[in-house]
Amino acid sequence: GLLKVTDASAATPDEVFEAIAQMTPLQKVTTVQDFADAVVFFASDASRAITGQNLTVDGGLTFN
Query: What pLDDT does 38 receive?
Result: 94
Distance (Å, whole) CA 55 – CA 17: 21
Ranges of each domain in the chain: 7-47
What is the tens place of the pLDDT at every residue in 20-56? 999 999 999 988 899 999 999 999 999 999 999 899 9
CA distance 48 to 60: 24
Say which residue, 1 or 35, is predicted with more confidence.
35
Res 3 pLDDT > 70: yes
Of 64, 6, 53, 54, whose CA–CA distance to 30 is shortest?
A: 6
Check residues 26 and 12 and name the one with the higher pLDDT. 26
| Cα–Cα distance for residue pair 1/63, rounded to 1 Å | 11
Tell me how far apart the alpha carbons of residues 7 and 23 are, in angstroms, rounded to a whole number: 23
Residue-level pLDDT at 1: 60
